[in-house]
A and B are shown apart, each in its own frame.
Chain A
Amino acid sequence: MEIFLQQLINGVTLGSIYGLIAIGYTMVFGIIGMVNFAHGDVFMLSAFIALLLLLLLTQMLGLPAGLAFVPVLFGSMCLTALWNFVIERVAYRRLRGSFRLAPLISAIGMSTFLSNFVTVTQGPNNKSIPPLLNKIIPLTSGGDYDVTLSYKQILIVAVTAVLLAAFWFVVQKTSLGRAQRACEQDAKMAALLGVDVNRTISLTFVIGAALAAVAGSLFLLQYGVVKSSDGFVPGVKAFTAAVLGGIGSLPGAVLGGLAIGLVETLWGQYFSSDYKDVAAFSLLAVTLIFMPSGLLGRPDVEKV
């Protein structure tokens, strides 16, 4: 029971990170109907940017790690947003009128480029930082297994919750959100009505990247290690989360993220950690095949 509780906590933490990445997938899919395959690698890149900024601030400027984390998070968000802005301009913008698989193929190319770009510039090995923010709160004690909750985990879940609330507000209440929803429905009509479609799409990519950067920084904080191939598997899992939650739906993305995080940790605990990726990938296949509109998505009526 204690072990289950502990894995539940770990699963929610991991799930929050997946959820943050999944929002990027779901928003881009919602607005231009494209699976942004490179998003996982954007996440990985953001973790590297955070890592380098952290080292820069702690080693060069001598800031304490705890204090450095806030500017690191902010810097990583900005720089990753710039990356994704450029990626959209370079790799996707021209393809909106192309054949239907063109954006996906371009995104696969971009994903391959990004992961190898980081390999080339930073080397293929694990990069680990000394653990940060190590305080833990024991929840149970005295048993043979103590359930703990770390400050990091609290921080991760809290940041996810706050960001989700903030972006929910943006999409529901602001003119940007209205423009986004208008482009989702009918980009041509939105353009005729004076919505700057290009700007809206760019902003969507920028927001998605900023959230991925938060996820990347939190990932680094929680696990303390990152390598250049870390974009692929978390990316696919986050995509699974987006599909499971119902692609296009923001709360769905977070819900899906939590579900994937829980499945992964519980599977790793009770079955086999070697096969935990198999569990996630199978879940992806099963979801796409049997419930492609997910938990909170709208059913997709085929237009004839």
Chain B
Amino acid sequence: MMALLLDGLIVLALVSLAVQAISGRSLFRGIIHFVVFGLTMALAWARIGAPDLAMAEAAIGAGLTGALMMVAYRRLVAQGDNHSPRAPAQKSRLAIPIAVGSGLLVGVIGLGALLADNPPGEAGLIVLETLPEYGLGNAITGVLLLFRGLDTLLEIAVLLTALLAARALAGTGDSSATARTQHPETPLVGALLAVVIPLTILVAVHLLRAGTHETGGAFQAGAVLAAAGVLLVLSGRVSRTDTAGPLVRLGILAGLSAFILIGLMPLLYGEALLTLPGMWSIYLIETAMMVSIAAALILLFADAGGLKRDRRG
């Protein structure tokens, strides 16, 4: 009974937040509602029994998407977007029927799959059988690296492509719109960073290490690490540059290149592409991916080609 109440509340919150995000009064409130929607999604994942997804959703889905949206919003305002808070929605007679129809379609597919008396997924059973051979305890990390290595490799490539495309679109000479405000800094910022940044790095490394046998993994760790970077950008500890220094370039490319190099190695002794040679390779790839994911997300947030340390007195 208690569980049903909890699930009911989560579903109610998801639906009302989605409605608010889309039709709320001002765009800024929409962003806030969307971020809270993401956090509620994380709760829903935890209830469904998918803690890895809950963590990814909280860090990536809610946290970084929200940060990216707020930065884009601020850039629109800086470019003089005087979008009125109560912009009339577009009138469309077909909108409601199409929305109801597609919602029904999703519901029927879901209920059909839920009620059908089909056997458990064979792929999942094979994964659970194979994992002990590799000494992996987290089935999701196992699927991502052992069975769907190509997907994971391409996923990093997509993130990199998004970064390149965003950089190509950003053009030059708009740094005035994004320049950080020159408020005098309160002494608390330094003290806060001194505590929060090491803790964030600790959490990220823990998530990375834990990813092989319990909840966690490179994506969650990378997102947490990116949050530390976002904090450093916001507090002006690192500043934007137009071109990336060698260290930043290495960071961006580390995940993709480590994955490709280790993935090609098995070809030398006649095994299939992307057959990972052992636990060391999993740790190496996951670490490199964490660094790359964090670097790409920070650069997307900062809208910068590179970052450099900003020394202050």
- Tell me whether A and B are bound partners: no
Which residues of A approach B to under 8 Å, CB–CB? none
